[in-house]
Amino acid sequence: MGHRILALNPGGGSTKVALYEDSKAAHEDKIRHPAEEIAGFSSTLEQLDYRREAIDSLLDAWKVDKTTLSAVVGRGGPFKPLVSGTYRVNERMLSDIREGRVAADHPSNLGALLAAEIASPLGIPAFIVDPVSVDEFIPESRISGMPEIERRSLSHALNMKMVGRKAAAQLGNPYKELNLVIAHLGTGISIGAHRKGRQIDVNNANDGGPLSPQRTGYLPVTQLVKLCFSGSYDEEALKKKITKEGGLLAYLGSDDISPLYRKAEAGDEKVALVLRAMVQQIAKEIAAQSAVLDGQLDAIVLTGGMAHEPGLIKDISKKIKFITDNILVFPGEDELEALALGALRVLTGEEEAMTYE
């Protein structure tokens, strides 16, 4: 028997679970958590036992003998800045999560806790891989324009790093020898400049970048300041409006890209206009990240859930083909695979596990 790896990806309304035997998925499923049940918890950490029980039930249904597992790997949350890699879950990491020393209260924080709870009694390692706080910025990327505010590296690093490796395999060169602009097109949009295996710049999807299905992206700053002091919103309400109720959802009442494209094709001018605006903003950010690489790039890579929509990919490609004709598309968010392969690289000795300090 090879390495059996249990991969866990807790999200807002679901927990994705997969059992990998080396690099192949033997089982994979999504546990859906009803909104009314999630609403009953006052914080993400309170959901730990609830989600653990759901995972145990799924493993029982799969008839998985936990004693055959080699490792458990969970999605990494918005921790402090970390370099890319696979991290062994240790007490320092768990303590930071439990005591709130993280950038946000996000379901991904449960990944390390769930992995540790399952792995510890079995005496096997627990890992996280490429958390959203992967930070490989060059100094220039941290400068914001206001000394009191520093640009932060928060992105869909897990999926972006994996598709970077997939693109490298397709191009026939190691990821660490390539220059790539990778655009993760999801509920939020992260577009990063990858130079020789390091993401040296990326837009923080909560702070800027293109408008997306739920997020506003960049906003006119002086108008935003005026809105902040209008008395219409408190801090939490305005953050929610920017990160969960903005973008396509705010303009069109939907964050589902494919039905919106069908509406535009059927002649809905408002929908068509907003979609063109999003495409324009995505293309602008791709061009900006290409400039970070001095225009010296091997490919532009498009990924994420919205990359399943052919109309969107066609429209973006039209606007960016002047940069390069080498545009690669990897639709979806194969984060469970990315987690399992990250753990496998450590188990096989291809990489050493990083230490969280």
**pLDDT tens by residue, 228-277:** 999 999 999 999 999 989 999 999 999 999 999 999 999 999 999 999 99
The per-residue pLDDT for 1 is: 63
The per-residue pLDDT for 123 is: 98
| Residues 171, 298: Cα–Cα separation, whole Å | 9
Overall fold of domain 4-135+335-355: Nucleotidyltransferase; domain 5 (3.30.420)
For the beta sheet containing 354-355, the strands, ordered from the edge strand earlier in sequence to the opposite edge, are 24-32, 14-21, 4-10, 71-75, 126-129, 86-88, 354-355
**Tokens linked to 311:** 């109309």
Would you call 309 helix, strand, or coil by DSSP? Answer: coil
Would you call 332 helix, strand, or coil by DSSP? Answer: strand
The per-residue pLDDT for 162 is: 95
Query: In this structure, what is the dihedral angle of CA atoms 31, 155, 47, 95, given to the nearest 10 degrees?
Result: 140
Where in the chain are all domains bearing CATH 3.30.420.40?
4-135+335-355, 157-331
The per-residue pLDDT for 333 is: 83
The per-residue pLDDT for 103 is: 83
| Residues 299, 318: Cα–Cα separation, whole Å | 15
The class of domain 157-331 in CATH terms is alpha beta
Q: What pTM did the predictor assign?
A: 0.91
Walk along the chain (357 residues) in steps of 10 and give the mean pLDDT of each run: 93 93 97 91 94 97 97 95 96 96 88 98 98 96 97 94 96 98 96 98 96 97 97 95 95 97 98 98 98 98 97 98 98 93 97 96
Would you call 154 helix, strand, or coil by DSSP? Answer: coil
The per-residue pLDDT for 106 is: 84
DSSP codes, 13-25: SEEEEEEEETTEE
Strand segments, DSSP code E, in 121-266 are 126-129, 143-146, 149-150, 179-185, 189-195, 198-202
